[in-house]
Amino acid sequence: MDVISVIRTKRDRGELSPEQIDWVIDAYTRGVVADEQMSALAMAILLNGMNRTEIARWTAAMIASGERMNFDSLSRPTADKHSTGGVGDKITLPLAPLVAACGAAVPQLSGRGLGHTGGTLDKLESIPGWRALLSNEEMLHVLDTTGAVICAAGDGLAPADKKLYALRDVTGTVEAIPLIASSIMSKKIAEGTGSLVLDVKVGTGAFMKNIEDARELASTMVALGTDSGVKTIALLTDMSTPLGLTAGNALEIRESVEVLAGGGPSDVVELTLALAREMLDAAGIKDADPAKALADGSAMDVWRRMIAAQGGDPDAALPVAREHHVVTAPASGVLTRLDAYAVGVGAWRLGAGRARKEDPVQAGAGIELHAKPGDTVTAGQPLMTLHTDTPEKFDYALSALEGSYDVAPAGTAFSATPIVLDRIA
C-alpha cells in the first residue's frame, strides 16, 4: 500500500477500499504518512466526497487507532450530547447535570474553542480550581458518584482524529462533511455511551450555513451511530442569532448557573429542555420531567457536586474583565437581526477565543447582549457590552460588529425563527 495511490483514487473521484482506508489512517497515526500527504487526501475528500460505506470504514479506522471506554459497571443508562458548535452555545453546562438529575449518567467529553466558536472546557476553566484533564479512572469515579462529568478526551481516545483535526484546521478542510461526521462520531462511539443526541447548528454562526448541508451532516452522523449500535438522533437548531445573552467564558458560566437556578434566557432554557427530553428518551427514561428538575433545584445540586468533584469551587467568584465598552442602539425601533458570526468573532477578538490551540484565553472576556431580535430598543440604549482585559482590542472587535444588527422602525412585524428546525432519527 502507498499513500500516492490512495490520494489519486480519491482525487479521481474513485471509492477508497476498506484496505486503503485502514492503511492510511494507521500509517498517518504512526507518522508514516506525512502531513502534506494527508492534507492532499483531505482536500480530495472535501472536493469529491465519500459514500456511506467509505465514511463508516473511515470512522471505524479512527476508532481502532486508540482505546474504547466502557460504562457497563454503572447502574444508570448513559446518554451523551454533542453540538457542532456555535456562539453563546453554553447548553452542555446546564444540560449535563439536568439529565443526570433525571436518572441518566452523562459522560460528556468536550473540547476547546477555536476561532469564533466557544469551547466548553475553556468556559469551565474560568471556575477556580476546576480540572478538565481526568484519567479514565477519575472520569468513571466522578460519573458514578455525581451522575455527570464534563472533561477532555484522553490521548488514548481516537488519536487519529486528534491528529487529523489539527491538520484540517490549518488546511481549509474543516467543512468536509465526511470528515466532520467521522471526527465527531469516532470520539463518541469510542467513548462508549449507550445513546447520543446531536445538536447540529444551522446559520451564520455555525459551520453549516444552510439547512440542506446541516441535514446531510446530521443524517450521516445518525447513520454512523446507528450502524455502530449507539441509539442516535439529531436536532437541527438555529444559530443565526447567538444563544442567550452572553458569548464568553465566565460570562457563559454565570448565565448557565442562572438557568440551573430556574431563570436564565428563554432560548437557552428551551433548547436545554428539548435536548434533555431527547437524551432521556434515548436512554429509556420515560417518567422524568427535566423542567421539574430545573425548578426544584435538583439539577443545581448535581452541578455543584460535579464541579467540586473536578476540583472546582462552585461558590467562588468568577473572573471579571478589567475593561468594558458599551455599544448603543443607533435609532429607536425593533431589533430585527443580530448576526451570530459577528458576535462570535467580536468575542474571539476580545480574548474569549483563540486562533491556535496553544493560544491562551481570557476568562472574563466576551460580549454581553442587552437585546435580542424582536426586542424594542430606544436610541442610545445599550445593545451590548464588550468585556476584555486588553482595551486595545476594542477597535478590532468593533470592526467585526459593524453591520451585524438591524433596527427597524417601531411597529415593524417580527417573526422569530424556531430554535429547533428539524429532527432526524
Catalytic residue set: 82, 161, 168, 183, 187
Q: What angle do CA 190, 194, 200 make, to 5 degrees?
A: 75
- Choose among 376, 370, 387, 367: nearest CA to 413: 376
Residues 217 and 208 sit within 8 Å (Cβ to Cβ): yes
Count each helix (H run) and each strand (E run) in the chain, helices first.
Answer: 16, 13
Query: What distance in Å separates the CA atoms of residue 71 and residue 179, rounded to the nearest whole number?
Result: 27
Residues 351 and 365 sit within 8 Å (Cβ to Cβ): yes
DSSP code per residue over 66-98? S-----TTSSS-BEEEEE---SS--THHHHHHH
Cell 444540560 sits on residue: 95
Q: Which helix (H) or strand (E) holds 39?
A: helix 35-48
Q: Which helix (H) or strand (E) holds 336?
A: strand 333-338
Query: What distance in Å separates the CA atoms of residue 339 and residue 117, rounded to the nearest whole number?
Result: 13
Residues 422 and 215 sit within 8 Å (Cβ to Cβ): yes
Sign of CA dihedral 187, 189, 193, 197: positive
Phi/psi at 178 (5° precision): -60, -35
How many other C-beta atoms can be found within 10 angstroms of the C-beta atom of residue 32? 12
Query: What distance in Å separates the CA atoms of residue 4 and residue 315, rounded to the nearest whole number?
Result: 56
284: left (phi over 0), alpha (psi -120 to 50) or beta: left
Phi/psi at 251 (5° precision): -60, -40
**Which CA distances in Å does 276 have to 42, 134, 283, 297?**
35, 25, 11, 16
How many other C-beta atoms can be found within 10 angstroms of the C-beta atom of residue 34? 12
Query: What distance in Å separates the CA atoms of residue 425 and residue 423, rounded to the nearest whole number?
Result: 7
Q: What is the dihedral of CA 143, 282, 184, 255, to 10 degrees?
A: -60
